Structure formats: structure tokens, C-alpha cells
Chain A
Amino acid sequence: MTSLRSALKSATALAAFSLSFPLASWAEEPLPVVATFSILGDMVERIGGEHIALTTLVGPDGDAHVYQPTPKVARSVAEADVLFLNGLEFEGWLERLAEAASFGGAMVVATKGVVPIAFDDHDDHDEHDDHDDHDEHDDHDEHDDHDDHAEHDKHADHDDHDDHDKHDDHDDHADHDDHDDHEKHDDHDDHAGHDHGAFDPHAWQSLENAVIYANNIAAGLAQADPENAGDYYANRAAFITEVETLRADIGAMMKSLPADKRTVVTPHDAFGYFAATYDLTFVAPQGMSTDSEVSAADVAALITQIREESISAVFIESITDNRMMQQIANETGATIGGTLYSDALSAQSGPASTYLDMMRHNATTLFDALGN
């Protein structure tokens, strides 16, 4: 049953695909793909396996908010067949890069179908928010460019591809009987006209969303390389099994935290999805993006909050300037609870060199610091 469906699906995808890419022999060589940052890259690597040649633009410990592409990067983008991006305005620089490199392949937005969290919900520094909004409005324009780009694309059936994409997703969800995700698809359609710049892009911080990421990645790969679609879906299934196991582990861990130990101080506001999933409160002096300057009012508000709620631990992040957190810890008597990985994996030798390791590391670090 399943194999019949996937065979049919492959055939459909292949038929649609061969219209635009007559070179079926590409499947022999690894499919050149690009992922924008290390976390997404790790997931793509897991699902693509040996069939893809992956280039990750922002590597371990890098900050994708402020990345500046080099010509070498532009070349790998130009040569790629599939470009995986997070979306939700996370990679503001990407549209320009894709355009400059005259990228002609398929763009796969990994957060497609994620229910985004508006970042007003967990941030009360009004002026900073306004500022961020403004920045991301600009980025949004570039997304419009993307739509134009698709229409002008020489592969006339590009838009059809998108439709197929959605159908594929739909089938996958049916296979898994994952009705929750299905409903989220509907939500997403309702949201289609909204301004995505107002949403927290760090959607991978929820393991639930990782399943959506995996689905989008597998669908994107299967579409670009139908011959190996079976492998991609198998890898996705294996990945999702691990995600579910970890989700159960972390869920149990977080559930056991006492109610008065659920506030976490981090340098930049990247854990909205994690917070929402496990009913934690994350506060940060720096606002949503790492590129806004901090004001004395932000720091003072944070210190007051730490004092009033007797928060015992603050955390540092791998990608940010941590001097500020050190100062806040000194001033409030809180301890540094450890390093969290928000927007980038650690190097191979570090504690968070894959997505799953990162989630596990963050959860145990939080648990150890808050739990005692």
C-alpha cells in the first residue's frame, strides 16, 4: 500500500519534473543542495543522506541574523538544485544572494506549515519591537521578489510544482495520521496574507516543528530527485522517530520543573517556541534579533525582574556577546547556568553538533540549572 502510493507519487513527481528538467541522469551524481544555516543543514543531511552534496552557508557557531555572503558562497548557491531556508524572515540576506547568484532551482521553506508565534507575545520592550518590525518589513519586500522570481522563472511549471509540493505533504500527513499537523496547514493558509515579519523565526526550537521541517525537507528533496524519493522518506521516518523519542524525554524533564523555577534569562530572544511548548518564560535584554543594540532600560528591567522573581540562573549563548550576561549575573548574584545553543550548532567536538544533540543539550542544561 505504502510502496504503491510512494511509487505513484514518484511517478507523478517525475512526470511533472521531467517537463522542467529533462536531465534524468542527474540522479547518478549527488544532488547539489544548499541549506542556509547549520541546524537546517543537519536536518537536510539526515534526510538527504548519501544522495546529496550539501553546502551549509552559516556554519557552526555562526550567527545567521547578520551573515554576509562571499562570492564562493554565491557560486555554491548558483550551482545548487535545491535551496533550503528557514523562512519567517530569518535569512534576510538570502533573497538578494539568490538573485545575485541567479539561482534557478527550487526554494524549500522549511517552516512551511509551522504555526508561527508572534513575537509581541513575549516581549514588552516596545521601542525595540517597532524597530525590529521595521527591519523585517524591508525583508518582507524581498519575499515578494521571490514570488516574482517564481513567475518569471524559465521553468513555466514552477508554480505547479508548489502545488504538487502541498499535495505531497498532505499525503505524508495522512500516512502518519498526524491530524495536528494537518490542521496547521489549514491555519497556515489562513495566515497567508499576514505579515510574516512579525513572527519569531526560531521555529526549530520546538521538536514538534522539527517534524514539519523534516516533512518539508523530504518533500523538497523527493521533488528535485524523484529517483531517490523512497530513501528520503525512509530517512525522514527514521529522523522523526528519534525526534519523537527525544520529545518524550524532554517533555518529562520539563514537566518536573517546579512552577517557581520556570523563568529563564538568555542573551537573545530565540526560545519562544521552546518556551511555548514547555510552559517556560524566557526573558532577554537584546530583543528578538542579535543585531539590535541594547539600551540601559532593557538591562535595568531585566535586572529588576531577576531580583524580584529571585531567578537563580542566567544562560549564555554560543553566538552572542556574553559580556552583558556576565555583568547581569554579577550584579544580581545569579549564576551562569550554562551555554545554550539557539541559532547555530556547535562545532563537531562540541556538545550540540547535531540538531537532536542541540535540543537535548539545551534541555538538560536548563533542567540542571533550574532544577536544583
Chain B
Amino acid sequence: MIWDVLLAPFVDFGFMRRALLGCIAVSVGATPVGVFLMLRHMSLTGDAMAHAILPGAATGYLVSGLSLGAMTVGGLIAGMLVALASGFVARVTSLREDASLAAFYLISLAIGVLIVSTHGNNVDLMHVLFGTVLALDDTALILLCSFASVSLLVLALLFRPLVLECADPQFLRSVSKLSAITHFVFLALVVMNLVAGFHALGTLMAVGIMILPGAAAKFWAETIAGLIAVAALIAMLSSVIGLLLSFHYSLPSGPAIILVAGIGYGLSIIFGPVGGAIAQNLPHRNLKP
């Protein structure tokens, strides 16, 4: 029984194993970035970036068809350009970074739509851009795993300055020139993980697997390491449960995975021991002597 429900799908079907591996790679790579996005009050930046890479990937697709490389490079270039341009404007003018980011991603999106519409090909681009976790081939899996590994390594190197940025950005800016570099490399990581997630889940769903587990983890852990661990765990659990739901109940896989993460977030809000609704309303447990 348990075998049939939980394991048989993965044992019997290679595409399920591939989907799971792809999702785990995205979970491991994207959720720590999502946690830092949340701690830095930049959660919506993830969404903006996802829109920014979409035209790049679309252009890559139009130039050389369904080529993993072209779409990856296109997405990376578009994302980096938007990140750099908005960061640059924020640093040399009085416009705040969130405003210039919003401006640049909208411009990027408009350019993308323009390119797609003027190009004659009407193959359903949205279908391509929404990716499908059920059709990951070897190259896509290798790409997802390498991006996740690189992301983890870079994050480890940047860990201390990033934590400082979260705690007190002004302090880091005053004592070290690392602030700007940290910020840009971090944005690059966001872009990279979104591009990876895009191949598995599509651009918009990729933001979901990045942000939702981090937001849910906030209700379970207090240290940054704890947040990252809980977030990655929630993401992986959501992937497994989402894929199984898709398998047993004929649901589209990407939305199923994100919805399970969303349910995890909802449950965390209610039952989470750290500032969850129930914990919050039981004052005697929260008062520490």
C-alpha cells in the first residue's frame, strides 16, 4: 500500500525520478537564496527577476529553438542586465533600487513581448517558458545540479557579508567595500537559480519554490542556518508530495508542487512555533523568564 502510493511511481518510471532529482536540485539551490531574499525584505525582487529573465529566455528560444544553452544564456544575460542596471541607477541617482528594478524589469518584459510578437513563429512560447518538470533530459539535469552546486558554494563564500547585510546594511557599507560586490553577486545568484528553476518549473513557478519555503521556515526556526535547513526540507517535501499528487490525481506537476509548498506555508502560519498564530496567542509559552 505505502509502496504503491509513495515509492512505486519513482521505481517504475524514470521520468518521475528525473523530475524528483530536478526538483531537489532546485530546492537545494534556490531556497537558501529565498531565505536571504526574505531576510533582506526583497522577496518581491525574486518575482521581478523572474519577469526579467523571461524575455531573455524567449529570445534564446527564438534564436536557436528549444536549445537549453541558448535559453539559459539568454535568461542569464537578461537577468544580469536588469540587476546591474537597476543597481547602477540606485547607486548614482536618488532613485531607490526597488523602483529602478521595477522600471527595468518592465522594460525587459516589454522588449521580450515585442521580440516574440514580431517574430513570425507562433509556437506556444508560453508553454515553452512554463517549462515542464516531467520532461527533464540529461543535459537539463546536469545544468540544474551544477547551478545548485555553484549557488551553494558562492553562498558559502558570501555567507558572512550577506548576514551582515541582512542585519545592518549601513554597517557593512561603512566598514567594507564588499557591500556592493556582495549585493550584485547575490542578485546574480537569484538570477541563476531562477534560470535553473525555469527549466524545471517555468519562470513563475520557479519563484514559488524559491520564496514559499523560506517564508514558511520563518515560523519554525530562528537562526539563519535553521531557516535554510527548514526551507530546503519544506521545498523537497513539497516536490515529492507535489509529484505524487500529480501522479495519482492527474494534476499538472509544476502548480501541484508550488501549491503543496503554499499549503506548507499556510500550516506554518497557524502551527509554527516561532511567531505562528497559535504560538502567538499562548502568551505564557512565549514569555521567557
| Interface set of A (CB-CB < 8 Å, partner B) | 58-59, 61-68, 70, 125-128, 290-300, 303, 319-324, 326-328, 330-331
**What 5 A-B pairs have minimum CB-CB distances, sorted nearest first?**
A62-B122, A293-B252, A296-B246, A323-B135, A296-B247
B107 within 8 A of A: no
**Contacting residues, chain A, for B253 (C-beta < 8 A):** 293-296
State which of B66, B120, B130 has its C-beta within 8 Å of the C-beta of A323: B66
Query: Are B122 and A299 touching (Cβ within 8 A)?
Result: no
Q: Which residue of B lies closest to A67 (CB)?
A: B122
**Contacting residues, chain B, for A326 (C-beta < 8 A):** 135, 137
B69 within 8 A of A: no
State which of B15, B254, B256 has its C-beta within 8 Å of the C-beta of A303: B15
The answer to whether residues A322 and B252 also contact, given A296-B19, A297-B246 and a CB cut-off of 8 A, is: no
| Interface set of B (CB-CB < 8 Å, partner A) | 9, 12-16, 18-19, 66, 117, 120-124, 126-128, 130, 132, 134-137, 243, 246-256
Query: Are A323 and B123 touching (Cβ within 8 A)?
Result: no
Query: Are B13 and A331 touching (Cβ within 8 A)?
Result: yes
Query: Are A296 and B122 touching (Cβ within 8 A)?
Result: no
Q: Which residue of B lies closest to A295 (CB)?
A: B250
**Contacting residues, chain B, for A67 (C-beta < 8 A):** 122
**Contacting residues, chain A, for B135 (C-beta < 8 A):** 321, 323-324, 326-327
Q: Give Cα A1–Cα B247 distance, bound, in whole angstroms.
A: 65
Given contacts A295-B251, A297-B248, 15 further A-B contacts (CB under 8 A): A62-B121, A63-B122, A66-B124, A66-B127, A68-B117, A70-B117, A128-B250, A290-B127, A293-B132, A293-B254, A296-B9, A297-B250, A300-B15, A328-B15, A331-B15
**Contacting residues, chain A, for B137 (C-beta < 8 A):** 323, 326-327, 330
Query: Are A59 and B122 touching (Cβ within 8 A)?
Result: yes
**Contacting residues, chain A, for B126 (C-beta < 8 A):** 66
A339 to chain B, nearest CB (A): 13
B136 to chain A, nearest CB (A): 7
Q: Which residue of A lies closest to B125 (CB)?
A: A66
The answer to whether residues A290 and B124 also contact, given A300-B13, A303-B15, A327-B134 and a CB cut-off of 8 A, is: yes
A158 to chain B, nearest CB (A): 31
Q: Which residue of B lies closest to A323 (CB)?
A: B135
A-B contact count (CB 8 A): 112
Query: Are A296 and B117 touching (Cβ within 8 A)?
Result: no
Query: Are A324 and B123 touching (Cβ within 8 A)?
Result: no
Query: Are B66 and A297 touching (Cβ within 8 A)?
Result: no
Taking chain B's interface residues, is the majority helix, strand, or loop, or is none over half, making it mixed? Answer: helix
**Contacting residues, chain A, for B66 (C-beta < 8 A):** 321-323
Query: Are B13 and A303 touching (Cβ within 8 A)?
Result: yes
**Contacting residues, chain A, for B246 (C-beta < 8 A):** 295-297
Listed by A's residue number, 18 A-B pairs whose Cβ atoms lie within 8 Å are A59-B120, A61-B121, A62-B120, A63-B123, A66-B127, A68-B122, A128-B250, A296-B243, A296-B253, A297-B247, A297-B250, A321-B127, A321-B132, A322-B66, A324-B134, A324-B135, A327-B18, A331-B13
B256 to chain A, nearest CB (A): 8
**Contacting residues, chain B, for A296 (C-beta < 8 A):** 9, 15-16, 19, 134, 243, 246-247, 253
B69 to chain A, nearest CB (A): 14
Query: Are A323 and B132 touching (Cβ within 8 A)?
Result: yes
**Contacting residues, chain A, for B120 (C-beta < 8 A):** 59, 62
Query: Are B9 and A319 touching (Cβ within 8 A)?
Result: no
State which of B15, B127, B256 has its C-beta within 8 Å of the C-beta of A299: B15
**Contacting residues, chain A, for B250 (C-beta < 8 A):** 125-128, 295, 297-298
Query: Are A58 and B15 touching (Cβ within 8 A)?
Result: no
A267 to chain B, nearest CB (A): 10
Q: Give Cα A322–Cα B136 distance, bound, in whole angstroms.
A: 11
Q: Give Cα A67–Cα B128 distance, bound, in whole angstroms.
A: 14
Q: Give Cα A84–Cα B68 distance, bound, in whole angstroms.
A: 38
Q: Give Cα A205–Cα B261 distance, bound, in whole angstroms.
A: 43
**Contacting residues, chain A, for B127 (C-beta < 8 A):** 66, 290-291, 320-321
Q: Give Cα A344–Cα B122 distance, bound, in whole angstroms.
A: 10
Query: Are B15 and A327 touching (Cβ within 8 A)?
Result: yes
Query: Are B252 and A294 touching (Cβ within 8 A)?
Result: yes
Q: Give Cα A21–Cα B136 distance, bound, in whole angstroms.
A: 58
**Contacting residues, chain A, for B248 (C-beta < 8 A):** 297
Q: Give Cα A303–Cα B128 distance, bound, in whole angstroms.
A: 22
Q: Give Cα A323–Cα B127 distance, bound, in whole angstroms.
A: 12
Q: Give Cα A298–Cα B254 distance, bound, in whole angstroms.
A: 14
Q: Which residue of A lies closest to B126 (CB)?
A: A66
Query: Are A319 and B134 touching (Cβ within 8 A)?
Result: no
**Contacting residues, chain A, for B121 (C-beta < 8 A):** 61-62
**Contacting residues, chain A, for B132 (C-beta < 8 A):** 293-294, 321, 323-324
A90 to chain B, nearest CB (A): 14
**Contacting residues, chain B, for A321 (C-beta < 8 A):** 66, 123-124, 127-128, 132, 135
**Contacting residues, chain A, for B12 (C-beta < 8 A):** 300
**Contacting residues, chain A, for B15 (C-beta < 8 A):** 296, 299-300, 303, 327-328, 331
**Contacting residues, chain B, for A303 (C-beta < 8 A):** 13, 15
Q: Give Cα A319–Cα B128 distance, bound, in whole angstroms.
A: 11
State which of B123, B128, B249, B256 has its C-beta within 8 Å of the C-beta of A61: B123
Query: Are A297 and B249 touching (Cβ within 8 A)?
Result: yes
Q: Which residue of A lies closest to B122 (CB)?
A: A62
Query: Are B134 and A299 touching (Cβ within 8 A)?
Result: yes
Q: Give Cα A327–Cα B18 distance, bound, in whole angstroms.
A: 10
**Contacting residues, chain A, for B130 (C-beta < 8 A):** 293
